Amino acid sequence: MNFETIKTRGERFMANFNGQTAVITGGAQGIGLATAKSFINDGCEVMIWDIDEKMGVEAAKELNCHFLKVDQTNNNLVEEVTEKTLNQINKIDILVCSAGIAGPTYSTWDYPVEEWSRVFDVNVNGVFYCNKHVVKSMREKNYGRIINIASIAGKEGNPNASAYSASKAAVIGLTKSLGKETADKDIAVNCITPATAKTRILDQVSQEFIDYMISKIPRNRFVTVEEVASLITFLASKENSFTTAGVFDISGGRATY
């Protein structure tokens, strides 16, 4: 099945985000950009955080939203940018942590230590810093929705991708912990575990690895960023008022638990 011919199945979930604000990390491309478009279409005011300034400025111009350059591996910078964001848009109702990297493909015994650290710095430490600083303002207002983008790899483990798999498992654990810690308020913290999506992150891995990933998906195709954005839109909505500390599968039938 040709990926380019795939369209989002059915109508996407429509949320009422009027008067709400959202921060989307990695919002300049891929799943983050598709989510920003979905939110804005539903009336949300969006702030994109991204390390790529050129793409971030272009995305903000295209979508008529806000942008701040952020290196999420720097805790102090994330704290500063959180304050800047609150000064610009007054509050943060929704946080979507979409920024992440795949890292190279090596067997575990050959995996370069510096690459392992780099993957964890972005995928785990960066998500922790964003969750840590943004949730404080949500707790003050007794409202918030956080969606962390994990991966099916975090549940099953992919061969020759131990750093990525382990980092996404850590995101699942972080989400469950924070969701339980904030369950006494109207704050929902959930994560999703997509199968591979056709994004630029695939530029970081080999064709052999890409072929393997498709072979694992019963749908026999990658998920579209629009399909992922539709699930995120529901999880970010007021309608999602009960489920927290949850892990939502969107793997095309791959997940076994």
The residues carrying an active-site annotation are: 164
Q: Six-digit token pair at 251?
A: 């793997």
- Six token digits for residue 249: 């599968």
Contact 187, 229 (CB under 8 A): no
DSSP 122: I
The CA-CA-CA angle for residues 177, 202, 225, to 5°, reads 65
The percent helix, strand, coil of the chain (3-state, each to 5) is: 45, 15, 35
Q: Where are the beta strands (DSSP E) in 120-173?
A: 143-149
The C-alpha atoms of residue 41 and residue 168 are separated, in whole angstroms, by 29
Distance between CA atoms of residues 100 and 39, nearest Å: 20
CA dihedral 240→246→250→252, nearest 10 degrees, is: -130
Q: How far is CA 101 from CA 120, 130, 141, 199, in A?
A: 9, 16, 32, 11
Token digits for 209? Answer: 């690895």
With beta carbons less than 8 A apart as the criterion, state whether 51 and 124 touch.
no
